[in-house]
Structure formats: C-alpha cells, structure tokens
Structure 1
C-alpha cells in the first residue's frame, strides 16, 4: 500500500485486529499462490502484505525466503506478532510499494487482497509496476488480483444499503453494517463508505463509525497495455482464484504475468 495516499485512503486498515477479524479467514487465493510458490526457487516477495494473511500460510508450506512488504506500521507489527507465534522466519519490511528499494530480486512477486486498486492514478500504477519489474528476475512471475469493472460493481445507486448484522466481540454490542458507494466515471475511482452502527440491548444506537476507501478500476484492455508497457506478458487471466477463464460475468481479474523485458 503506497505511502502518499495512505493518510487519505487507509481508514479500514488503522485497526489491524478489526481487519483480521473480518478478513484473516479468507483463503481462496492460497492454493493458486502455493502452486506457484512450490515451483519457485529463491526469495518470494509479498507486496502490500498487510497482517500477513497470505504471507504466513505460504511460509508454513514452503522453504523459500518470504519477504512481506507494506507501508503500514501497525499492520506489519501485527504480522510480526502472528509469525513469531508460529516460529516463522519471514522478513517484514516497511516500504512504499511504488518506491521499492530491497536488496534482493525474486522469481515470484505477488500482491493480493485487490491491493492493486489502491494505486489511484496513472502515475502510481506506473511506479508500482516499475518497482515490481525492477525487483523481479528475468522470466520471473508476477501474480495479482483486482476487481472486474462490471456494471453491477460500479453502477450502483449512491444510497445507504444494509450489509449484515453481527455481534462485536469486544463490546458484545450488536453491530449493523451499511455501505455507500459512488463511482466517478472520469477517474475510474469508486468511493466507498462503511457505516457501523453499534446497538445496545434496548435497540438504541450508542455508537457509530464511518470508514472510507477509494478504489481505482482498470479495464482488461487497459490493463493489457499497461502490463506490456512495463515488460510483462500475461500468461493467464482468470475470473477467480480457481483458475476459471475470464468472462463478462466476472467479479475479479486474476493475472499471472511473466517478466519479459527490463
């Protein structure tokens, strides 16, 4: 996650424990990543690794040196704590993904969790892909996922919509989640807000929080040209982590790329 946008676009990551409660159990991307990890020699780099959701299970199943890179100190500290409890030797490094300055090159670099969408401008996307190219060995593999810009995903009414109800494990209050989304056609950026309403046993709202995040969408042909510009050949494009070929009904785009030019 890149440094210059963090202050304005990082609400949902400022509480790592809450983030883990919601996302740490997600494992759909692990089998495909592990497939590539197991046939890769040498170091592997996880960009925008967060709390190590993908980094840690891969390190548990491979003998490679695993390097986790993120800009957020709190997320990295949580990742360190989690890997330490499992006695895993993972190199956690705090750096801006658009300005990587690592002392190694890898045969495999990946970034998951739709982190590609955090790079909101053409300049930031360029800088990210340049950093990846610079730290990837020739014919190395770059794997990443991003949401597919379908009409259902983007052309939604900007009104507050109910998402789910659950019990907050800390306060034991009932929490109702609501979501508001608005897509800017000119910038290709979707602006999202999640509202959490904490409700007591009498049904009264005692606390309410709002977290905002903006996400850039890229169309398939746009991505194809962008990747080619930065020296990557697309080997596979899937609509999910089960390696299903892309279709117009996709919700995700999963890219497997090879570095062909420095």
Structure 2
C-alpha cells in the first residue's frame, strides 16, 4: 500500500539535506567539499552527495547503501557512483580522503562482528591521512523514550499525500533498541510498518572499537556545532583517522 519508492521519497521530505537549516548537513558538507574523494556509507537517497555535486564538487563521490529503494532514488544523478551493499562490503583500498556515515547510520551496525568488519573495511578504504566522520545518539539521552505512538506526527508525502507517522519501541536488549516505524493515513489506517534496530554506544565503547580497527580519534564533539561532549549531551560526533 506504500511502496519502497514512496518511502524513499518521503524520507527526503522528512530529512532534507539543507546546511542552512540543519547543523549536521553544514558540518558534513564542509568536510565533503574539502575532500577529493568521498565514500558515503549508508548514503540513503544520496542527498548529501547530490548536494555536494550541485555545489561544484569535481572529485570522486561514491554512495553505498543496502536499501535498493533508497539507491533507486539516489541514482537520479548519474555523475556519482552508487553501490548496493553494507559497510562491511566496502572493497576499496586506499581510495578515499573521507568516509562518512550520516544521520546516525553508524547505529545500524548492531553486532560486535558487524562493527569490527565494517570499521576494518572503512579503514582500508581510506588513504593515508584520510578521515572517517560519523555521528551517533548518546545513550545517556535515552532518545528511545520518545519513540511511542503518543508522539505521532502528521506530514505531507512527496506528492502532497497527507500521512501520519509514529514509532514504537519493541525491545531493549543491552545497548540495542528495536522499534517499528508506522506510516499511515491521517485516519490511522496503516499503510506500512518498518522494523529496525539501533545500537547505542557510549564514548569508551566507541573508542574501543575504533582503536581495535586501527583508528585514532582526532576530534569528538557533543553536537554538530563542535561543542564538547558533556554529561547532558545528546550526540557523539567522531572524526577518526587511520593510526
């Protein structure tokens, strides 16, 4: 009742890549525009790389994502390389100046093995002096406590279709939260239910995985304005480089 293509188009409505409005977009766009070759892991609909090319980026841009519907939408631009797969599938060696995981995509790496394989592949893909930037939700903020039907919100789809969306937590096991995202008509007639799991790692846990994979943390921030990580912070933004 609500296709993958419609879901991908709706994602762009909810999450526009606009550096003037969203600090994450501004932060990452600055890094992308300064890098000659960029690998965007979990690129989704490709909006960050689309924006970079529109701004005049002339180097190599590669987007990788496991969601075919998202990639189909990303492929509206043919001057960017699009690859179907997960981070652990990254098979490049020393080809990129910058690797990115935006919109908390890093949290989709659930198991220890998946994290290790992904970080190893990302490190291998970077040139000497390259950097890996990603953001995660800080577990201390307990963002999942707001993921419930009482927080439903109304939105218009890409074609102006009136919709309602909400999230609902199914389980919390250790540092992994599993939840559903429901897309419905305004009368709450359900059109689509998507299920996902996210892992919430704190600063020491992130550092441990990065070190094991051969990374050194270059900078770490508590928000996209480059503020410090604090006890009340909601984000952990990390810039790492191969050791």
Q: TM-score range by the shorter chain?
A: 0.7 to 0.9
The answer for the alignment partner of 1:7 in structure 2 is none
The answer for the alignment partner of 1:193 in structure 2 is 180
Matched, 1:242 2:225: yes
Q: Deviations over 1:60-95 (max 9, x none)?
A: 3322211111222221121111x25xxxx2111223
The answer for the alignment partner of 1:180 in structure 2 is 168
**Structure 1 pair 124–12 and aligned structure 2 pair: CA distance change class (3 A):** farther
Q: Deviations over 1:30-82 (max 9, x none)?
A: 32223323433x3211111111121111223322211111222221121111x
- CA distance in 2 between counterparts of 1:236 and 1:94 reads 30
Count, aligned residues: 237
What are the equivalent positions in structure 2 for 1:94-243 lying under 5 Å apart? Answer: 94-102=84-92, 105-154=95-144, 156=145, 160-168=149-157, 170=159, 172-173=161-162, 175-186=163-174, 188-199=175-186, 204-243=187-226
Q: Deviations over 1:155-179 (max 9, x none)?
A: x388532332234564744x33332
- CA distance in 1 between counterparts of 2:61 and 2:146 reads 42
Matched, 1:46 2:40: yes
**Structure 1 pair 125–14 and aligned structure 2 pair: CA distance change class (3 A):** farther
Contact 1:13 1:19 (C-alpha < 8 Å) held by counterparts:
no
- CA distance in 2 between counterparts of 1:95 and 1:159 reads 30
Q: Which runs of 5+ in 1 are unaligned?
A: 1-10
Matched, 1:64 2:59: yes
- CA distance in 1 between counterparts of 2:28 and 2:189 reads 43
Judge which range, 56-65 or 126-135, deviates more.
56-65
Q: Deviations over 1:189-241 (max 9, x none)?
A: 11122233413xxxx55445322221111111010111111111111111222
SS in structure 2 opposite 1:161?
A: helix
TM-score, scaled to structure 2: 0.85
Contact 1:158 1:182 (C-alpha < 8 Å) held by counterparts:
no
Matched, 1:252 2:211: no
Pairwise CA distance, 1:15: 2.6
TM-score, scaled to structure 1: 0.80
- CA distance in 2 between counterparts of 1:37 and 1:170 reads 30
